[in-house]
Structure 1
Amino acid sequence: MVELPNERGHTAGMCMIGLISVLLIGQGMVFCTEGMMETVMYVVTGSAIGIFTVGLLHVAWRTCFLAEELCHISGRYPDKKSAAQKAYEFNMISSCVCSISAIIAVLIWVILENPYVYLWTKGPVSNIIPYLAGFCFSKLIQMEESVLHTSLQIESMKNLDYGSGMAYNYFYGYLRLVLPDPEVGTPGAKGIRKRIETFMNHHRLLKTAFPVRKLFILIPRNLYTPTDLMEVSTDWHNSTNYWMEAAMSLETQELDRAGVKQRVYKNSVYKIWNRDRSTLYPVYVVAEGATPLKTFYDVIKMNPKMSRVFKNHQHEIVSAFYKTLQDILRDSDDCRDLCEIIFYADTDENQRRVNVARIILERIEKLTR
């Protein structure tokens, strides 16, 4: 039986506490000959200034990254205020510790003297110890923790993040099976284009009725994709004038997969009318939402424990899914020209739902121009 790795414990934290204790004892030992009061004053001043200074350095570090975030407001944040809030967010322990340290530093300055000057007069070696202790303590309480910090970690994970993982699963577990013509030895199976041609022949459709013979994958920025795309195919000022309706599906694809015999894969065909032009005939398209994002949407809605964490980084996860899926398709000779990904904002600046049919028609017009 394969032994699974155990969950990591608190050994690192205990070692960090031991290191901080050694540094604090070292601080006290420097002045143990000058009396208890002087020793306590030095240790308190050093601890407060060390933590306060490290906190200021964290603020400066976050300011540098905020400057970069302000260049990408439109794609990541509702406004500049929201970006600043996520950049300067501290966890509760860090906020309390930094506040207490600042209060102590101010009191020492008022009652005694400038605490930085006070520490420096004790010599350079003893002056360095408080800052080392403050740095170690900041790591213990995870002072660097913030929404922005986690977002930067997600970007640096090199396709090991949640969004990229969903993209790889989606491609190798679904798209690679339904898009290209199957390998020899899979009787009755067809690629997406052959199944579209079969659909056109069966319904006697002209080539102009099915202008783009690809699978359109919809990736809404806010994740929501309804069961029937007709629900999101109206303009906000006319919610009953639908632009899309489901036609029949393409013929099903049956493949043996992971112990399941004849697993069924199917794709839906939609008819789209351009209501602005009052066209007599619809345009046909194979379209669907990205199912992993629908699952992600359900996790956010139904799992209270993880909903806040995922919602804070929702846009980063969706963006990683989209970019990774694009890269995978671009590198795939078999699937590159069989799929069209549409990443779109599903609400406008007034938070009104957009018409997905318009977006699809715009992409079709661009591809056929």
Structure 2
Amino acid sequence: MQCLRDEEALIPRPRGALPKVCAVALAAVTIGGIMFLSPEGLFGWVAMAILILTLGPLLHGICLLAEEMLLHSNTRYGGRGLLSHVLPACGLGGTTLLAAALACLLLYLAEHPLPHKGQCCKLLFLAPVLYALFKSLGVLSPSEVEVSDICEGRKMNVAHGLAWSFYLGYLRLVLPRLEDSIAAFRSSWSRESRRLFILIPLNANISHKLENEDSNIYFYDNLPNNEIDRAGVRGRVYKHSVYRVLDEHGKGHECVVEYATPLLTLYNMSQESSAGFGEPERRQQVLLFYRTLRDILEHSLECRNRYKLILLNDELGDDPHFLSKTILRHLRQQEKEEFCLTPPPQQEMAHPFACTPCTPPKVHPIHYSDPMSREPTLMLSLDSPQPLKGPVENSDHYQ
């Protein structure tokens, strides 16, 4: 299980609700302090603060709405309704408007008016205008964490699109046919190697020949081609390569191995200056690609138990045989997992109470049958129904 712990240490987790909890706690402490120090103007100050915070985004949304309506209403929205599409796209949704309306109502219903009402009105107008100005100039632009959270939450990253394309356009087509291809290639193959090993290096630098990466890996042969009609192409060919991996004793282990081809796109994007895609962004996208592809495949019934994702950490790749050792470790781990999941059948005695010390018990092996390998049958009884038996007293009572 060492490789699984190493992968979990590298893969970023989805962002949770800790910032919301901290914000709620901070607001509760602040409001509690104000209530303790000066409870007479609490509702008025809370309403004023909510108005300042909501009017700023509303004014900035109006600035965005001006350009969208004048220049992009037809090209970006296709002439669709103002209320249903353009207003929510500019941030003028119902949530912000509702918060501003509730703040106005709270300010109106406040029992104690705010002191220095004239100064509060000036602040109420000045703060939202300055917010809209700073927001438009980029001073109050969202941070990298916020942008990353939005992109990951709405599945807008490059890695999400590549992972779904790799699954829908390739893995979902070939993995259900993989076992039949291996059986047609060599029926005596061991069960633990009848999976597709997908290599995902963190640096996204993929070699087109695995033997160039590790001298203990040799190309063995290709599996029979799978021809699938796809996107107007009759008999499009999908193929897999079989490699022989040598262990420390020189024994060969055959398995179907290949790199995740979408990583070539990520690597080429990082080499193009116009893509604006540097090495740190590429590494982050590779990790998101691995996490997204793993989640997709775990919920896919067609691909279950037909693949193995191997994340390769390039920082630990100084060993010239790092790739072969990693593949062999996953092979052995998979073999141990399947051995634990399918233990050998046990033997039981046919008549455990009929044997005597002089007579050794007769042991009969139990023959197990796979319930999923039989067709369901309906069993009918020809006996007439019998009434239920009443309670029978069978205990002895001694006076």
Shorter-chain TM-score above 0.5: yes
1:244 is aligned to 217
Query: Which amino acid in the other structure matches residue 305 of structure 1?
Result: S
Give, in whole Å, the separation in 2 of the partners of 1:154 and 1:352: 36
User: For the structure 1 residues 179 and 14, does the alpha-carbon distance in structure 2 shift closer, same or farther, using more than 3 Å as the test?
Assistant: closer
User: For the structure 1 residues 160 and 121, does the alpha-carbon distance in structure 2 shift closer, same or farther, using more than 3 Å as the test?
Assistant: closer
| TM-superposition CA deviations, 1:250-272 (whole Å, max 9, x none) | 11111111011111111111111
2:145 is aligned to 148
2:171 is aligned to 175
Give, in whole Å, the separation in 2 of the partners of 1:347 and 1:122: 63
Conserved in 2, the CA contact under 8 Å of 1:163 and 1:318?
A: yes
More helix as a share of residues: 1
| TM-superposition CA deviations, 1:37-94 (whole Å, max 9, x none) | xxxxxxxxxxxxxxxxxxxxxxxxxxxxxxxxxxxxxxxxxxxxxxxxxxxxxxxxxx
The answer to whether structure 1 residue 317 and structure 2 residue 285 are counterparts is yes
The answer to whether structure 1 residue 232 and structure 2 residue 219 are counterparts is no
1:100 is aligned to none
The answer to whether structure 1 residue 278 and structure 2 residue 246 are counterparts is no
1:332 is aligned to 300
User: For the structure 1 residues 293 and 334, does the alpha-carbon distance in structure 2 shift closer, same or farther, using more than 3 Å as the test?
Assistant: same
- In the TM superposition, residue 130 of structure 1 has moved relative to its aligned partner by 3.4
Q: Secondary structure at the match of 2:179?
A: helix
| TM-superposition CA deviations, 1:151-192 (whole Å, max 9, x none) | 2222221x3432111111111111111111xxxxxxxxxx11
Conserved in 2, the CA contact under 8 Å of 1:151 and 1:313?
A: no
Conserved in 2, the CA contact under 8 Å of 1:346 and 1:353?
A: no
Conserved in 1, the CA contact under 8 Å of 2:219 and 2:242?
A: yes
Conserved in 2, the CA contact under 8 Å of 1:268 and 1:286?
A: yes
Query: Which amino acid in the other structure matches residue 217 of structure 1?
Result: I
1:124 is aligned to 120
Conserved in 2, the CA contact under 8 Å of 1:163 and 1:321?
A: yes
Give, in whole Å, the separation in 1 of the partners of 2:65 and 2:204: 41
**Within 5 A, what are the aligned runs for 1:98-137?**
123-137=119-133
User: For the structure 1 residues 351 and 129, does the alpha-carbon distance in structure 2 shift closer, same or farther, using more than 3 Å as the test?
Assistant: farther
**Within 5 A, what are the aligned runs for 1:1-369?**
12-13=63-64, 15=66, 123-143=119-139, 144-157=141-154, 159-180=155-176, 191-201=177-187, 207-208=189-190, 211-233=192-214, 242-274=215-247, 277-279=248-250, 281-301=251-271, 303-306=272-275, 308-309=276-277, 311-348=279-316, 355-369=322-336
Return the TM-score normalized by structure 2.
0.52
Conserved in 2, the CA contact under 8 Å of 1:271 and 1:284?
A: yes
Q: Secondary structure at the match of 1:299?
A: helix
- In the TM superposition, residue 353 of structure 1 has moved relative to its aligned partner by 7.8
Query: Which amino acid in the other structure matches residue 151 of structure 1?
Result: S
Conserved in 1, the CA contact under 8 Å of 2:270 and 2:282?
A: no
Give, in whole Å, the separation in 2 of the partners of 1:149 and 1:333: 34
Give, in whole Å, the separation in 2 of the partners of 1:351 and 1:131: 57
Tell me, which stretches of 5 or more residues in structure 2 are unaligned? Answer: 1-60, 68-115, 337-399
Q: Alignment identity in percent?
A: 27
Q: Secondary structure at the match of 1:153?
A: helix
Query: Which amino acid in the other structure matches residue 200 of structure 2?
Result: I
Give, in whole Å, the separation in 2 of the partners of 1:246 and 1:200: 16
Query: Which amino acid in the other structure matches residue 333 of structure 2?
Result: K
Conserved in 2, the CA contact under 8 Å of 1:247 and 1:270?
A: yes
- In the TM superposition, residue 150 of structure 1 has moved relative to its aligned partner by 2.8
User: For the structure 1 residues 354 and 135, does the alpha-carbon distance in structure 2 shift closer, same or farther, using more than 3 Å as the test?
Assistant: farther
| TM-superposition CA deviations, 1:217-261 (whole Å, max 9, x none) | 11111211110122222xxxxxxxx12121111111111110111
Give, in whole Å, the separation in 1 of the partners of 2:311 and 2:151: 20
Conserved in 1, the CA contact under 8 Å of 2:192 and 2:334?
A: no
Root-mean-square deviation (Å): 2.8
Aligned residue pairs, count? 227
Q: Secondary structure at the match of 1:358?
A: helix
Conserved in 1, the CA contact under 8 Å of 2:269 and 2:277?
A: no
Query: Which amino acid in the other structure matches residue 347 of structure 1?
Result: E
User: For the structure 1 residues 197 and 312, does the alpha-carbon distance in structure 2 shift closer, same or farther, using more than 3 Å as the test?
Assistant: same
- In the TM superposition, residue 122 of structure 1 has moved relative to its aligned partner by 7.6
Conserved in 2, the CA contact under 8 Å of 1:199 and 1:250?
A: yes
Query: Which amino acid in the other structure matches residue 178 of structure 2?
Result: I
Return the TM-score normalized by structure 1.
0.55
